[in-house]
Structure 1
Amino acid sequence: MFLNGGELDEITAFRRELHRKPELSGEEVETARMVARALGSSQPDEIVTDLGGHGVAAVYHGATHGPTVMIRSELDALPIEELSTSPHRSEITGKGHLCGHDGHTAILMALAKGLSRKRPARGRAILLFQPAEENGAGAAAVLADPKFEPLKPDFVFSLHNFPGLPLGHVALAEGPVNCASRGMRFVLSGKTAHASCPEDGVAPTSAMAHLLSELTALGAGGSLDADFTLVTVTHARLGEPAFGISPGHAEIWATLRTLTDERMGELVRRAEALVHKHSTAGGLTSSISYEDIFHQCSNAPAAVDHLRRALGEERISHDAGPTALPMKASEDFGLFGRVAPSAMFFLGAGEDHPRLHNPDYDFPDALIEVGARAFMRTIRNLLG
């Protein structure tokens, strides 16, 4: 390991301090300040702040011209109450680092220490701390920010910890690794009436009933192949909680999920057609909006090759994750693949570890060293 025990203890303490002070997507003001402040001691050649919101990037120049290698982590936490007796548990009611982004950030802080002692021989190494991963808005905002253009990489790498895999074991594969998904919210509007005379109004009850079943039927899940589609209704509301009113309003939230962006486009068109069909038939008006938009995440073969080499040289156990990849869950990393060859690996958090987004989840500190070694070896192989 390129860090000594004292440095690793310092980074672990930093991770736990982040854990105590979680901030949600788009609200990572103090988290970004803590990261930028901690990066200062590694003396990067440049620190870019307010990138795509509250993103931070640290740039380390090599002595000669060469490629740019970007390693990305995330800053945001979740709107979930942490249930833990840990001394570093969340101090913010209703918010918690229950996905491990604090640990991913700590891994990049370990890289910063290593790069401070030995710059790349050529090119640039960039550590990117992305905001707003959990709602799918951060990557698009970072890439759209004019401050990103001078940072444009030749390779982008990332990781995510993965409960269910043995501690420290890596799953890595070429091609699709995370599904595309988006939250579809639609409103059906009619006209209320007295409950004794529903014929005097226009109720969305029938349309809502049809849509609840027909939307779900559009995507029943199944094998994670190119035709995979899954529609999950997550929320529904009809009218007001009153016995005297025939409803004039309905709202349904559904998550659409596919393996590819192309398949997502088809699913969106079919779902929207159903909404228009039943709203028109019921004499209703409708509106549709989308949130939490995640693009497919696919690992480029060239980027995977570099990670495989680094894992082998560091003697970190790894395989193609035949039971883990691709996964149904989404990840806001896919858009980086449109900028440069990119790849994400999945780092085992323990077979019996609490799952991601569970209220008792906590990032295993032992993974800081493993993840940092894998990325540092990748950087050295590409940049010297």
Structure 2
Amino acid sequence: MNDILELRRHLHRNPELSGKEYETAKTISAFLKKYQPDELLENLGNGTGIIAVYLPEKEVKQTILFRCELDALPIQEINNFEHKSLFNNVSHKCGHDGHMSLMCLFAKKIAMQKMKHTKLLLLFQPAEENGEGAVAIIADERFKKLNPDKVFALHNIPGAEMHEVLVKNNTFTCAVNSIIIKLHGKTSHAAEPQNGHNPAVAISEIIQEFQKKTQDNPDKEKFTVMTPIYINMGTKDHGISAGFGEIHYTFRRNANREMKELETELETIAREIAQKHHLKPEISWTQKFSANENAPEVVDFVRNAAKELNFKITEKKYPFTFGEDFGIFTEHYKGAMFGLGSGIDTPALHNPDYDWPDELTETGAELFYKISQQIDAQ
């Protein structure tokens, strides 16, 4: 494990943001080459994606993909340990350094003992945090030719017991989308606001109407989380009535179908309120994540692997509300994403003091390898 631990700490010290994972990709490629994949596909998707291909000993009967992520977050790390981030306002606060490391350990295990009839694809995906990476990989012609039969991914879950395996059929993570509403009005003197079109009241009405869409009881239909992210209007010049305003919202729902319905409703609300106040709306969307829909028969491989390895298994009642672009893969292929507990007292994901617990690396690699063995034995 020494080389894996050093790799993880090197990745943590040298984080890169979504779409800029060039040195990270070089590091991963160099490591993988030591464990002799039958093929190493590089520069996938937006230019930094990697897939290590391991062929079985005999005839290929099925192809299985496992995915991890390359990117870090724009967060300033506050830890003081030796492997802390070397870059201001960039750090691995979601555990992707750990996910990459366990995938590299998985590659080592495969190199020592290949499958009999199962072709394994180890995908190191860029740009998960902004929702662009999976879309780019799916669209890559080299990826399309691989055509996996099943796809798997995991995510570490602070607040769950160390090594606990969290599974769920059907929706595992919510659909997420974000709307940007720009309201173009007319600037005027603050003493004569009637001569202009100030967006302030429109912004307040949009907030009120959007919040009415919140339905925070997951036991009821159309579970919805509405979160205002950013508001900007005018300047600090007290003699000027603002002529422009901007508001950003992010929202979550359990199902992709219900998400499309909500998107239409919110855009209609924004346009009608803008028209009411003589404002010209400019609406755009960003960081869209499809709901991650787990196929129950694929989740069973995770359950069986965890059981065989004597890990605690927890059946989740409700989906996680965070966005995960692995949902793009489960739209195209039968798949399963599962959670891996990273400790009750571990800082939460995206917190500035978070750090991947190294004792989890072997657990994740063992689960991926055991899943592969079970599928191979079919």
TM norm structure 1 = 0.95
Pairs within 5 Å for 1:271-290: 271-290=266-285
Return the alpha-carbon distance in structure 2 between the equivalents of residues 148 and 224 of structure 1.
38
Given candidates 40, 52, 55, the residue that maps to 1:58 is: 52
1:185 lines up with 2:153 in the alignment: no
In the alignment, which residue of structure 2 is the partner of 1:153? Answer: 148
Asked if the contact 1:153/1:339 (under 8 Å) is kept, the reply is no
Q: Aligned pair count?
A: 375
Structure 2: distance between partners of 1:64 and 1:225:
48
Deviation track 1:195-249 (CA, whole Å, cap 9, x = no partner) reads: 1211221111221111121112222422265411121111111112211111100
1:350 is the counterpart of 2:350: no
CA distance in 2, matches of 1:216, 1:145: 39
Deviations 1:162-209 (A, max 9, x none): 011111111112111111111110100011011121122111122111
Name the % identity.
38
State the 1:383 CA deviation. 2.3
Residue 12, structure 1, aligned to residue 2, structure 2:
no
Q: Which amino acid is the alignment partner of residue 111 of structure 1?
A: F
The yes-or-no answer on 1:310 pairing with 2:312 is no
One-letter amino acid of the counterpart of residue 225, structure 2: L
1:44 — aligned with what?
37
Amino acid at match of 2:369: M
Contact 2:182 2:246 in 1 (8 A): yes
Question: Pairwise mapping of residues 256-335 of structure 1 onto structure 2 (< 5 A)?
Answer: 256-322=251-317, 325-335=318-328
Q: Which runs of 5 or more structure 2 residues have no equivalent in the other structure?
A: none
Q: 1:339-369, CA deviations, whole angstroms, 9 ceiling, x for partnerless residues?
A: 2211011111111111101110000000011
Q: Within 2, Cα distance between the matches of 1:240 and 1:140?
A: 38
- Residue 224 to residue 73, structure 1, CA distance change in 2 (3 Å): farther
Aligned pairs for 1:113-262 (under 5 A) are: 113-223=108-218, 225-262=220-257
* Cα deviation, residue 114, structure 1: 1.0
Q: Residue 80 of structure 1 aligns to which amino acid in structure 2?
A: I
- Could you tell me how far apart the structure 1 residues matched to 2:85 and 2:147 are? 35
Give distance in 2, aligned partners of 1:251 and 1:350.
40
Q: Does 1:80 align with 2:83?
A: no
In the other structure, the counterpart of 1:5 is: none
Post-superposition offset of 1:305 = 1.0
- Amino acid across the alignment from 2:217: G
Q: In the superposition, relative to structure 1, how do residues 67 and 119 fare at CA in structure 2: closer, same or farther (>3 Å)?
A: same
Contact kept, 8 Å, 1:225 with 1:259, in 2: the verdict is: no
Q: What letter matches 1:377 in structure 2?
A: K
* 2:215/2:222 contact within 8 Å kept: no
Q: Distance in 1 between matches of 2:72 and 2:312?
A: 29
Instruction: Tell me the TM-score normalised to structure 2 length.
Output: 0.97
Q: Deviations over 1:90-137 (max 9, x none)?
A: 001001100000101111100111111222211310100111111111
Q: Is the 8 A contact 1:232 1:256 kept in 2?
A: yes
| SS of match in other structure, 1:42 | coil
| Cα root mean square deviation, aligned | 1.2
2:21 maps to a residue whose letter is: E
Aligned-partner Cα distance in 2 for 1:107–1:225: 38
SS at match of 2:319: coil
Q: Find the counterpart in structure 2 of residue 3 from structure 1.
A: none
Q: Cα deviations across residues 240-272 of structure 1 (Å, max 9, x unaligned)? A: 221111110010000021111111111111111
- Structure 1 counterpart of 2:370, from 355, 377, 380: 377
